[in-house]
Structure 1
Amino acid sequence: MVTQPQIAIAVVLMYVVVLLGLGYRSYEETERGNIEDYFLLGRKLTPIFGILTIFATFQSGYFMFGNVGFFYQFGFPWVLGSLASSPLVVAFLWYFGSRFWVLSKKFGHITIPRMFGHYYQSDTIRALLALLTVIFLIPYIVVQLLAGGLALEGITNGLVSFEMGAAFMTVVIIVYTVIGGFRAVTWTDSIQGVFFFLMAWILMVYFLIDHGGVSAFFGDYVSQFSKGMSYTGLLGVDLITLHVALFLAFVVGFIFQPEFYRRAIASKDLSTLRTISIGAGAIVLLAYIPTMFLGFGIKMAMPGIENADSALPVFLGEQYPYLGTVVIAAAIAAMMSTADSLLCTISATVVDDFYRPYVNPDADGDSLERIGWAVIAVSMIVAFAVSLTEPGFIAEITAIAFTGFLVLFWLTIGMFYWDGATAAGGIASLVAGLVTIFGVKYGGLGLPQLVSSFGFVIYTFIVTGVVFFAVSLVTTPLPKEHIAEYQSLFDRHLPGDADGREPNPAEVPAGMDD
């Protein structure tokens, strides 16, 4: 007789066969030796793929297990913060993403560190941002492996251990990311994102039907957990400080990840990017809603789960193992879709911001592509090794990973709004950010945590901003003609500025045309 764990393994293996098939198809369609095609899909990302690949990036191990775990453990306090993600995705991607697109198209940037380094006329900023990208994206890959390992262990009732599950994911992700590049990422993202989106909504509808509708659902929740819908939540944590910390990390920090804006610069044109921003914001909102119902519903059904991160797989494994097989397979798919995207970003960054400028400026496209493959493999193996050390609560690891990119908010403000921004200010802010994150988080600076264990997020945002502006005020600003060149680009090419036309092909470097 076929058992549920065997069915779970078969479902996951069938899905992996599909993944590898897409990876091979992507390999055949990718122009060998063309790193722009490998890392940016030749800048031809279309609206549907763009919306789904951004959405799949949201649907990470944190989103599915960590976010559900947040609602399970905290109750109400994260509802408003989660829903705030949607309008900000639209606003940031539309406004900042459009400007990044214009700059990358004009100057040929394929990475965000290169873009900032060019504006601030600083190789040091480019190198520091590249280092920051590697340092803070690898922990986010670790989150995917932690969640995936827990999921595989849960749906197979231990037949596949956490270590085996994480190792399996590591190998699969390396293989299809290496052979397919960003093209494989976008294709698999599209499938994975829709897969889990449908499963999450189906499970949410089940909870609502089981409790007799939305009103009855929340009535049952409050009757069991009177503090669950209060402003302090189940743990009695002050709403304001918790929201500030979580909002800065999981909304602003997430949106300023280099891999998020890499979708913007890969877009086919500005019209495509605007469509992507609206569509991504809408689908992100629709995706966050079921995680709230899942967290609350599982809390009512199984209130004693010790590890909130494992609430979803534990509930499904014990209550509905066959349904859980499909749902968790979808979740694992979405986790892999996030990890492959992160790997592409790390690989592009190391190749374009370390290897090419500092090691081998004359490297040809084939050599750069091979280096990119090696970076993908090494980064994934490092992430796997870290995942085996049980580094902590998924939400905390994710918060550290996202907080590392808060400094980009200030550098972006300087690039688009403030003529007084300087390279020295950017460098000082980047260094201050690294020191603050690890100094506050691990106690070296001796500052109070402010709220739960997320206080380091607030400190980092404040310190990096203060340092950026303070140092910029007392150091040499960028040349006026350099700033004017950038502003003229925005005036000519962006809607609402001048005529809003698309970039003139004559102004675009050779080889960069659509």
Structure 2
Amino acid sequence: MTGWLILFFTLFLASLGYASYRSYSKNRSSDDFMLAGSNIGAILGFLTFSAALFSAFTFMGMPDFFRVHGVGAWIFLGLSDALMVFFLLWFGYKLRKRATEVGYKGVAGFVQNCFQTQWAGYLLFLSSFLFLIPYVAIQIRGISIFLDAAFPDLIPGWGWASLLVVLMLVYSEIGGLKAIMYSDAIQGLIMLVVIWIIGYTCLQMAGGLEAGIAKVTESNAGLLSLPGPKGLFSSPFLIASAIAIVMIPVSQPQFTTRLVVMKDLKSVHKMAYAVGFFAILVILPTAFIGLYGAVKYPDSTTAEFLSAALLFDQASPVAALAVVGLFAACLSTTNAQIFALGTELRSLLTGSDKKVMRITQVAIFVFSIIVLVFSTYMSDELVLLARVSFAGTSMIAPVVLGAVMFKHPPKSLLFLSAFALVYFVFSLAELVPAGFAGLPTDAAMYLILIPATVILMLIHHFSSKSSHEA
């Protein structure tokens, strides 16, 4: 397999080198570097959005999620992503309209301008920092688990993580957001091809769909129904997960920015439809891999199952391509999210363009080191950890929605989101009860957050209308 690895890695690194060369400009402004010139077409937009959305946690986490928790994993992610596509059509329109009116350098700076207070920007940046750092660490943790299990005598897990972070830093510092988008496009295509090859192979090794389901029925029938053998997929869990995932374009800045830098609204709509189609294509084969794992590796650890299903049980070319595909997926997502943190910080800075760029680049380096440290402490529950990130950032969704819906959004939304964010973080730290009324924390918070947001928006709408009429 070594020869295939060398070949595929050479091709992958060469494509990255070409992408960074195409993206580099000596005299670029900070807008060119951080926002890719705001002229991204539908195809590149769809590939970069999809690759950022479906990353290493999809490639590795979802098969293991299917294996351990069953078919409810499809409802958890597949249905939620379909709902998100419809939401994208409305949100993309409103966001771009407001961004044209007040300017856009990042979500934090955008809401700061809309609310006319620095605290709005600080709240958005704090939320992004608290939950994107662990999310990026999940990606690095996932690929480290896989590579360490696949090549145990080569370098330790922290060595793989360090290599990935160094490559990410070099690449992003050279090419900026446009280079990251090209990397996303390359990674998305690689991931889709590889995951289908592996998914089809695993389905055949399980004896086919019908035979595989029959074997699972005999050994662990709970995998084929809700709430799953461990009771994870309860109604509150699935509803709260759907809300968190639908809010991803609102609450996770790497996706919000990708909507703004599209060249026109028509491109946004085409991108949204394509993302929905891509979601079905990329999630379906993970179910096949999970089915194979439930049949052959029901009691194995995550690392043992993934290294076997994605590497040792595959033909050498496929296994080598899987290694490159996973590395590419992790690199792409790490790039996108660390860079998004840099974009958010930059949107809050003032001063000369040169000074802002220098501070932003140093910050990206610091964020990368923090992520590297975090990745050594993450657990192996990749999908559940990702879900925590989605849920955590969704707590500030009312602020972004208020900014795109109102010319002068109510500042009460800032207090509401700040309360929700603080409570969610404290619940993770076990400083306050983790959930109440018999519901998990995120579901319970949504019961407060959603109606409170609607009430505050309605009050603001009618009071503003009455004031205008007067």
Could you tell me the TM-score, scaled by structure 2's length? 0.90
For residues 173-210 of structure 1, the C-alpha deviation after alignment (integer angstroms, 9 at most, x for no partner) is 01001110111011111111000110111112113333
Amino acid at match of 1:15: F
Cα distance in 2 between the residues matched to 1:119 and 1:314: 51
The aligned residue for residue 456 of structure 1 is 441
Q: Distance in 2 between matches of 1:450 and 1:395?
A: 25
Residue identity (%): 21
Give, in whole Å, the separation in 1 of the partners of 2:250 and 2:86: 10
2:185 corresponds to 1:185: no
Q: Distance in 1 between matches of 2:398 and 2:301?
A: 38
Describe the superposition over 1:136-163 as per-residue Cα deviations: whole angstroms up to 9, x where unpaired: 2111111111012112213324423211
Note closer, same or farther for the CA distance 1:58–1:135 as it changes in structure 2 (3 Å cut).
Answer: same
Alignment correspondent of 1:313: 307
CA distance in 1, matches of 2:22, 2:460: 52
Q: CA deviation at 1:168?
A: 0.5
Query: Could you say which residue in structure 2 is the equivalent of 1:101?
Result: 96
SS of the residue aligned with 1:446? coil
Aligned to 1:414: 402
Pairwise CA distance, 1:14:
5.2
Is the Cα–Cα contact under 8 Å of residues 59 and 335 in structure 1 kept in the other structure? no
1:429 Cα deviation after fit:
2.1
Q: Does residue 1:233 correspond to 2:233, yes or no?
A: no
Comparing 240-249 and 178-187, the one that deviates more: 240-249
Q: Which runs of 5+ in 1 are unaligned?
A: 357-361, 485-514
In the alignment, what sits opposite 1:269? Answer: 264
Report if aligned partners of 2:249, 2:256 keep a CA contact under 8 Å in 1: no
| Equivalent in 251, 254, 270 of residue 256 of structure 1 | 251
**2:376 aligned partner:** 388
Q: Return the offset for 1:135.
A: 2.1
Q: Are residue 337 (structure 1) and residue 332 (structure 2) matched?
A: yes
Residues 250, 400 of structure 2: 8 Å contact kept: no
Deviation at 1:418, TM superposition (A): 7.4
Which stretch has the larger CA shift, 283-292 or 110-119? Answer: 110-119
Which position in structure 1 is the counterpart of 2:15? 18
Give me the whole-angstrom Cα distance separating, in 2, the residues matched to 1:274 and 1:121. 30
Alpha-carbon distance between aligned partners in 2 of 1:165 and 1:156, rounded to the nearest angstrom: 10
Alpha-carbon distance between aligned partners in 1 of 2:380 and 2:313, rounded to the nearest angstrom: 26
Q: Deviations over 1:336-384 (max 9, x none)?
A: 111111122111111121x32xxxxx31x23222222212111111100
* Compared CA separation, residues 458 and 54, structure 1 to 2 (3 A): same
Aligned residue identity for 1:370: R
**1:488 maps to which residue?**
none
Query: What is the correspondence of 1:285-304 to structure 2 with a 5 Å cutoff?
Result: 285-304=280-299
1:127-138 equivalences under 5 Å are 127-138=122-133
CA distance in 2 between counterparts of 1:26 and 1:52 reads 17
Change (3 A) 1:222 1:250: farther
Contact 1:68 1:311 in 2 (8 A): no
Structure 1 equivalent of residue 83 of structure 2:
88
Separation of aligned partners in 2, 1:54 and 1:318: 31
2-side partners of 1:481 and 1:267: how far apart?
Answer: 37
Distance 1:399 1:164 in 2: 27
| Per-residue deviation, residues 421-440 of structure 1 (Å, max 9, x unmatched) | 511x2221232122221222
Give the TM-score normalised by the residue count of structure 1: 0.83
- Higher deviation after alignment, 470-479 or 44-53: 470-479
Q: CA RMSD in A?
A: 3.0
1:444 pairs with 2:439: no
Quote the offset at 1:42 in angstroms: 0.8
Shift of 1:478: 8.8
- Mapped to 1, the partners of 2:54 and 2:120 lie a distance apart of 30
d(CA) in 2 for partners of 1:418, 1:118 = 12
Q: C-alpha distance in 2, partners of 1:260/1:458? A: 23
Asked whether 1:399 is paired with 2:387, we answer yes
Contact 1:256 1:409 in 2 (8 A): yes
2:143 pairs with 1:141 = no
Secondary structure, counterpart of 2:357 in structure 1: helix
Distance 1:90 1:176 in 2: 30
| Structure 2 alignment gaps of length 5 or more | none
Cα separation, 2, equivalents of 1:366 and 1:282: 41
- Supply the AA of the counterpart residue of 1:380: S
Q: Which secondary structure does the structure 1 equivalent of 2:301 belong to?
A: coil
In the aligned structure 1, how far is the partner of 2:22 from the partner of 2:408?
Answer: 48
Distance 1:347 1:310, change over 3 A: farther
Q: Distance in 1 between matches of 2:372 and 2:467?
A: 44
